[in-house]
Structure 1
Amino acid sequence: MRIKIGHEEFEVRIDGRDTAPALLLSNSLSSDMSMWDDQIPLWSQRFRVIRYDQRGHGRSIVSPAPYTMEQLGRDALGVLDALGIERAHFCGLSMGGMVGMWLLTHAPDRIERAVLANTAAYMGPVDLWNGRIAAAQGGGMEALVDATIARWFPEPFRLAAPETMQRMRAMILNTPVVGYQGSCMAIRDMDQRESIKAIRNPVLVIIGSKDPATTPADGEAVRAAIPGARKCLLDAAHISNIEQAAQFGAEVDAFLG
């Protein structure tokens, strides 16, 4: 379904009963809401699961770059507002987890429990992101897809799951270049290392033990900064909800209670 936030349109999908507690999902850079497909059958049994394509991704608005983490966070709030939802659980992976940190520090009353997966409060260096922005400008997403897949999944999983890899490649290649660049700028310019120390909501931090993008050290730093945050370590690289789909789903389901 399409919803309007101001004059901008976002793609949203809802699974589960209308009367169930709301669970908002936020996707990673270079992906779309379909990244959560493996978890929907479980989570929709107990939750009203709301997925949306982040700005610049999937079928949502592709506005001009740059983007900011505040802008992406306000998009998430706009989705809740458009659906008349005052409070929701939250689960975001990578960039989606960064959006979750912004929500927890700027709109904590809108969030119940939050899962921050394979994410970081700060991701330098600046040159890394400028390089990716330039690569997308010069060669489109085709110039980035192979390196992205290699960061997302370890080689044994890539070889064992060729159909999943085809789906992931298509998702990356379908990401609008401007949306990718704008989101890279939001991540490049983000530093939430101090602000997340004020979070008081219940939080689960999911860490991939083989994650080369948001490393175990990055995840541990997030967990250590948030008072009372729990940790779940999965045998996975960056997109842990696909590599360890069943365990990821069960861990989140148990945490949300």
Structure 2
Amino acid sequence: MNILDIGDIHLHWREDGDPAGAPVVFANSLGTDFRMWDRLIPLLPQGLRLIRYDKRGHGLSSCPPGPYAMGALVRDAERLCEALNVRDCVFVGLSVGGLIAQGLAVKRLDLVRAMVLSNTAAKIGTAQMWADRIATIRENGLEAIADAMMERWFSKPFRQTVEMQGWRAMLARQPVEGYCGVAAAIAGTDFITPTSGLTLPTLAIAGSEDGATPADLVRETSDLIRGARFHLIRGAGHLPPVEKPEEYADVLTGFLTSIGHV
């Protein structure tokens, strides 16, 4: 277990692959921990330095009192990269992880040479939508939204598998304070203008069955970035590295190869 002290909080992180390889940093979605990438990591090319972490309020990282600001989530990623001596990484962010990717790229282009915006957008939902969800969770717990989230996260066939129950349990067991803290950060974030100024190599990935960040929303964000590529994974919901890890690995590997990262 790797726990990093970055000042105000501790981050739980893991490294796979070659410690001397080109770095790829993964940031996962609201309500999950870094096990979200478990099925993907073994499918990626040898020789890469693969780093993933639990954002604040999730997994085994610290859970300070909320609400959190997106700036704090970006700063956590920045401090993680600095502490691990990561430069010129490809930052792969899914959902809120994609917002973190955009914020970090705007702030620190010396840390990020390319990004993968997966099942995300420059602005996700409305402030009222998030306020309503936070109120429901604070009153009734994460169990109250778990079934609805599974419908957004996964395609119908996957929801009928035993494996889906594990992901439902992961969501329900996240700290309420951490989930609501990150939800508040998403509610207050609109990166449309800063993201539209980015020019670094970018791959956007969407799932055809995504009920949280529909494919059209992901495509709109990719269109903000000059030269960004877009790929639709059919039959996948909000977490395609879980449902379609082979296709996700192929698409990600192709992007990494095309920019000379492998």
TM-score by length of 1: 0.96
The answer on whether the counterparts of 1:105 and 1:196 sit within 8 Å (CA) in structure 2 is yes
Backbone CA RMSD of aligned residues:
1.1
2:93 alignment counterpart: 92
Letter in 2 for 1:108: L
**1:6 aligned onto 2:7:** yes
Q: Residue 210 of structure 1: SS of its match in structure 2?
A: coil
What is the CA-CA distance between 1:46 and the residue it aligns to? 2.8
1:23 alignment counterpart: 24
Matches within 5 A, 1:112-151: 112-151=113-152
- Deviations along 1:135-186, whole A, 9 cap, x unmatched? 1111111111111111101222211x32x21220121012100000011101
**1:244 aligned onto 2:244:** yes
Q: Distance in 1 between matches of 2:50 and 2:66?
A: 29
Q: Residue 194 of structure 1: SS of its match in structure 2?
A: helix
Q: Distance in 2 between matches of 1:72 and 1:54?
A: 7
Q: Residue 122 of structure 2: SS of its match in structure 1?
A: coil
What is the CA-CA distance between 1:44 and the residue it aligns to? 6.1
1:170 alignment counterpart: 169
The answer on whether the counterparts of 2:101 and 2:115 sit within 8 Å (CA) in structure 1 is yes
Matches within 5 A, 1:23-62: 23-43=24-44, 45-62=46-63
Q: Distance in 1 between matches of 2:93 and 2:143?
A: 25
Letter in 2 for 1:196: T
The answer on whether the counterparts of 1:90 and 1:111 sit within 8 Å (CA) in structure 2 is yes
More displaced 10-residue stretch of structure 1: 205-214 or 178-187: 205-214
Q: Distance in 2 between matches of 1:127 and 1:241?
A: 29
2:65 alignment counterpart: 64
What is the CA-CA distance between 1:208 and the residue it aligns to? 1.2
Q: Distance in 1 between matches of 2:8 and 2:179?
A: 21
2:215 alignment counterpart: 216
Q: Distance in 1 between matches of 2:76 and 2:95?
A: 16
The answer on whether the counterparts of 2:209 and 2:237 sit within 8 Å (CA) in structure 1 is yes
The answer on whether the counterparts of 1:43 and 1:49 sit within 8 Å (CA) in structure 2 is no
The answer on whether the counterparts of 1:58 and 1:174 sit within 8 Å (CA) in structure 2 is no
The answer on whether the counterparts of 1:22 and 1:89 sit within 8 Å (CA) in structure 2 is yes
The answer on whether the counterparts of 1:26 and 1:53 sit within 8 Å (CA) in structure 2 is yes
Q: Distance in 2 between matches of 1:124 and 1:245?
A: 26
What is the CA-CA distance between 1:83 and the residue it aligns to? 0.9
Calculate percent identity across the aligned residue pairs: 38
Q: Residue 192 of structure 2: SS of its match in structure 1?
A: coil
- Deviations along 1:13-35, whole A, 9 cap, x unmatched? 00011111111000100000000
Letter in 2 for 1:215: P
The answer on whether the counterparts of 2:45 and 2:253 sit within 8 Å (CA) in structure 1 is no
Q: Distance in 1 between matches of 2:248 and 2:131?
A: 32
Structure 1 stretches of 4+ with a deviation exceeding 6 A read none
Q: Distance in 1 between matches of 2:79 and 2:170?
A: 24
